[in-house]
């Protein structure tokens, strides 16, 4: 395959379409297009952690089986939660071949999953393309102060970590390529409150106040991340604060620096206003 | 107060989590790093003590396992290598399998605004 086989998951097709559009455009510009899988299933969003619950491992395993049947050994995700669920499910069946056998027997009309597909998050692919990225920058973001936010699912648990669990740097390295000033945020690996946004929004509001508050204190113009749930939480719950900090997908910033007009349509806090203020957009 | 010791509960938690609850030395590293600890009725390491004691009833009335969002911060930091998120999940699962349901769908007034992965994630963690 010329580019990479890509697993979208549910949210990338709807609420987080800005992320999908911008990631597709960036990878196309880099000559490694993302090619959506012929068939896929919702991953289940959170990893099922009990030893006896194989039923909730089936969806990620079936998706990885679809990649296998397309003849691919590498599968790329954009959403942090999808990445984490697929990665943990894959590692689990590698460590417990009996579980895999049980699931393969249950799925008797599908081919057996051989656990040979590798799961990657887009940042791992971009990390290996820094020279190519540098060459594509036509609109340096030198007037912009950005702060990365990793959240949980790229870094924990250890077997799913794409970087150092306590001191990651992949986002900082990618952001520096855009010419933006990267600001350290000590809250960057703390949980945003995750699914509590559904029925305990008070918990998420407190987290957002701390995380965004720190970014504001340190003078960040925008927060950058890749998880659609963190993106929703950090933007939506700012309505209970005095803050107004746009929260962007890293690929939206890359596209901007590449001079590609894409994404930035579904934000609760308009990033375009900020970019005009900073003379990045006309 | 005397606690009715429910050893089956301890055994079930260890079976479902694949973790040894007895390995906990109550150092409090989990509580120190937990971003949600302020919301919890009982600190995580105190819950482990209750599990070891088999105090199922005492745990049932606490909110600790429902506040845990499985962010794995404690799991990567535990000096005894206990995957604490798995223990919290095991306790949640024991409750959920007894038909305890934590989500009131009727009262989620912004459900159309929520991203799918929030709803799916919440239902996975808080409904049976």
pLDDT tens, residue by residue, A192-208? 999 999 999 999 999 99
Q: Are residues A148 and A252 in the same domain?
A: yes
Report yes or no on B39 lying in a domain: yes
Burial class (CB in 10 A: 0-12, 13-18, 19+), A122: buried
Q: Are residues A73 and A14 in the same domain?
A: yes
What is this model's ipTM?
0.95
| DSSP character string of A191-247 | ---GGGGTT-HHHHHHHHHHHHHHHHHTT-SEEEE--HHHHHHHHHGGGGSS----E
Number of compact structural domains in chain B = 1
Q: Are residues A146 and A196 in the same domain?
A: yes
Domain around B66: 7-97
Q: Are residues A220 and A252 in the same domain?
A: yes
Report yes or no on A137 lying in a domain: yes
Give yes or no for B8 touching A (CB within 8 A): no
**Whether pLDDT at B3 is above 80:** no
**Whether pLDDT at A277 is above 90:** yes
Domain end point (choices A76, A101, A123): A123
CA distance B67 to B75: 16
Report yes or no on B114 lying in a domain: no
Q: Are residues A11 and A144 in the same domain?
A: no
| Cβ–Cβ below 8 Å for A196 and B76 | no
Report yes or no on B119 lying in a domain: no
CATH, residue B16:
1.10.1060.10
Domain end point (choices A123, A149, A172): A123
Report yes or no on A273 lying in a domain: yes
Report yes or no on B105 lying in a domain: no
Greatest C-alpha distance within chain B:
48
Here the tokens at position A99 are 């579980």
Task: Give the pLDDT confidence score for residue B50 in this predicted structure.
Answer: 95
Report yes or no on A205 lying in a domain: yes
Domain end point (choices A123, A151, A174): A123
| Cβ–Cβ below 8 Å for B120 and A44 | yes
Give B128's Cβ-side CA count (13 Å radius).
Answer: 12
pLDDT band of residue A210 (cuts 50, 70, 90) is very high
Report yes or no on A282 lying in a domain: no
| Cβ–Cβ below 8 Å for A157 and B39 | no
Chain B residue nearest residue A187, CA to CA: B35
Report yes or no on A170 lying in a domain: yes
Q: Are residues A114 and A144 in the same domain?
A: no
**Whether pLDDT at B4 is above 80:** no
Report yes or no on B106 lying in a domain: no
Give yes or no for B128 touching A (CB within 8 A): no
Q: Are residues A110 and A201 in the same domain?
A: no
Q: What is the mean pLDDT of residues A256-265?
A: 96
Number of compact structural domains in chain A = 2
Domain around A261: 130-277
CA distance A245 to A255: 19
Report yes or no on A33 lying in a domain: yes
pLDDT tens, residue by residue, A65-121? 999 999 999 999 999 999 999 999 999 999 999 999 999 999 989 999 999 999 999
Which DSSP helix (H) or strand (E) runs through A147?
Answer: strand A145-148
Q: Are residues A44 and A179 in the same domain?
A: no
CATH, residue A175:
3.40.50.11810
What's the sign of the alpha-carbon dihedral A21, A22, A26, A32? Answer: negative
Q: Are residues A67 and A146 in the same domain?
A: no
Here the tokens at position A138 are 């036509």
Q: Are residues A99 and A229 in the same domain?
A: no
User: Of all residues in chain B, what percent carry a pLDDT higher than 70?
Assistant: 98
Task: Give the pLDDT confidence score for residue B82 in this predicted structure.
Answer: 98
Mind telling me how many Å the CA of B2 is from chain A's nearest CA? 30
Q: Are residues A179 and A119 in the same domain?
A: no
Q: Are residues A51 and A86 in the same domain?
A: yes
Report yes or no on A143 lying in a domain: yes
Number of A to B CB contacts under 8 A, please give it.
127
């Amino acid at each position: 395959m010329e580019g990479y086989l890509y697993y979208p998951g549910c949210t990338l097709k709807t609420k987080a379409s800005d992320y999908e559009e911008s990631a597709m455009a960036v990878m196309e510009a880099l000559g490694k297009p993302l090619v959506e899988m012929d068939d896929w299933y919702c991953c289940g969003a959170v990893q099922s952690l009990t030893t006896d619950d194989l039923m909730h491992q089936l969806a990620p395993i079936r998706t990885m089986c679809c990649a296998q049947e397309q003849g691919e050994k590498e599968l790329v995700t954009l959403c942090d939660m999808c990445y984490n669920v697929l990665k943990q499910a894959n590692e689990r069946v590698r460590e417990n071949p009996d579980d895999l056998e049980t699931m393969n027997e249950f799925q008797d009309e599908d081919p057996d999953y051989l656990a040979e597909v590798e799961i990657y998050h887009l940042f791992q692919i971009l990390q290996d393309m820094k020279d190519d990225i540098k060459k594509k920058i036509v609109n340096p973001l030198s007037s912009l102060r950005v702060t990365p936010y990793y959240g949980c699912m790229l870094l924990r648990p250890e077997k799913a970590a794409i970087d150092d669990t306590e001191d990651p740097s992949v986002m900082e390295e990618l952001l520096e390529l855009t010419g933006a000033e990267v600001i350290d945020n000590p809250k960057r690996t703390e949980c945003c409150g995750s699914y509590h946004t559904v029925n305990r929004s008070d918990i998420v509001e407190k987290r957002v106040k701390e995380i965004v508050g720190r970014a504001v204190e340190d003078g960040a113009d925008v927060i950058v991340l890749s998880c659609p749930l963190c993106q929703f939480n950090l933007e939506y719950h700012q309505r209970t604060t005095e803050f107004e900090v746009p929260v962007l997908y890293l690929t939206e910033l890359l596209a901007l620096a590449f001079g590609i007009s894409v994404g930035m349509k579904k934000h609760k806090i308009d990033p375009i206003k900020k970019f005009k203020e900073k003379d990045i957009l006309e | 107060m005397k606690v009715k010791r429910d050893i089956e509960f301890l055994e079930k938690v260890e079976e479902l989590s694949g973790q040894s609850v007895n390995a906990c030395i109550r150092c409090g590293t989990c509580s120190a790093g937990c971003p949600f600890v302020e919301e919890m009725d009982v600190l995580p390491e105190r819950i482990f003590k209750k599990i070891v004691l088999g105090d199922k009833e005492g745990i049932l009335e606490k909110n600790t396992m429902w506040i845990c969002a499985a962010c794995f911060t404690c799991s990567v930091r535990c000096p005894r290598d206990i995957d604490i998120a798995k223990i919290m999940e095991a306790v949640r699962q024991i409750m959920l399998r007894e038909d305890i349901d934590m989500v009131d769908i009727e009262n989620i007034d912004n459900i159309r605004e929520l991203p799918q992965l929030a709803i799916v994630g919440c239902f996975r963690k808080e409904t049976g």
